[in-house]
Amino acid sequence: MNLILFGPPGAGKGTQAQYIVERFGLPQISTGDMLRAAVKAQTPLGLKAKTIMDAGGLVSDELVLGIVSERLAQPDCVNGFILDGFPRTIPQADALVDVLSGMGKSIDHVISLEVDTDEIVQRLSGRRTCSACGKGYHVVNAPSRADGFCDVCGSALLQRDDDREDTVKHRLAVYDQQTAPLKKYYEQSGVLRSITGTGAVEEIQRQIVAILEG
C-alpha cells in the first residue's frame, strides 16, 4: 500500500503517520525529518537546505527528489510506504509518478487532513520537541509536567525555528500557492480522500483505517 498523507503544516500528518507505521508496518518517509537530520549532521545537502527551511520556504524540487528516490529504493519500501510532507509541488508529484512507474508502482491513496488556518497557527506556534529523544509536546494541548523539560528524559524542549508565528504564516502562504493545487491533481486521478484533521486523534485514526482497509 503506497500512501501519501497530505495537508498543511500542522495538520497532524506526522502524528497520523506514526500510527499507520505501528498499525500497518509501513515505513514513514518524512522529507521534513530527513532534511532536519541532514541539517543537524551538517551534510552538504543540509547546509544548502537550512536557510530556506528556517525561513519557511521550500527547498528545491531537485534536492528533495534526490532524497526521496533514494529512500523509496530501500528494501523496507517494497510492500509500501507513507509519504509525509512530499510531494509539495506539482513538479514533485509528476516526478514521483515517474520514479514509481520505473519501479512498477503507483500511489494507492492520498489522505488529505483538513484543518483551518487559525487552528494551524495555534498548533504550530505551541509545538515543542525534546532536544534529546524527540518526543513532541504542545504548550496548551499537551504540556510537559515540568515547564520546558521532557517528561521522558528530562532534556530541554525546543521550538523549531520554523514554528515561530511569522514563519508559520509564511509556510501557510507557500502551502496555499504551491502545495494546495495538488489536491485537484490527486482528485483528478481518483485517489484523494479528505477527512477532518481536527477533533479526537482516535476518530481521525478510525477514519484513516476505514480508508486503508476499505
Give the footprint of ligand AMP on residues 86-125 (CB under 6 A).
86-88, 92
Q: Does 37 bind ligand AMP (CB under 6 A)?
A: no
State the residue for C-alpha cell 484533521: 197
Question: Which one among 2, 4, 7, 9 touches ligand AMP, defined by CB under 6 A?
Answer: 9
Active site residues: 13, 88, 127, 160, 171
Q: Does 52 bind ligand AMP (CB under 6 A)?
A: yes
C-alpha cell at 172: 501557510
Contact 20, 210 (CB under 8 A): no
Site string for ligand AMP, 153-182 (x = CB under 6 A): ---------x--------x-----------
**DSSP SS3 for 169:** helix
Rounded distance between C-alpha atoms, residue 8 and residue 88, angstroms: 10
Q: Helix axis angle, 201-213 relative to 13-24, nearest 10°?
A: 50
Q: Is the omega angle on the peptide bond into residue 87 within 30 degrees of 0, that is, cis?
A: yes
Q: Does 46 bind ligand AMP (CB under 6 A)?
A: no
Positions touching ligand AMP (CB under 6 A) are 9, 31-32, 35, 52-53, 56-59, 64, 85-88, 92, 162, 171
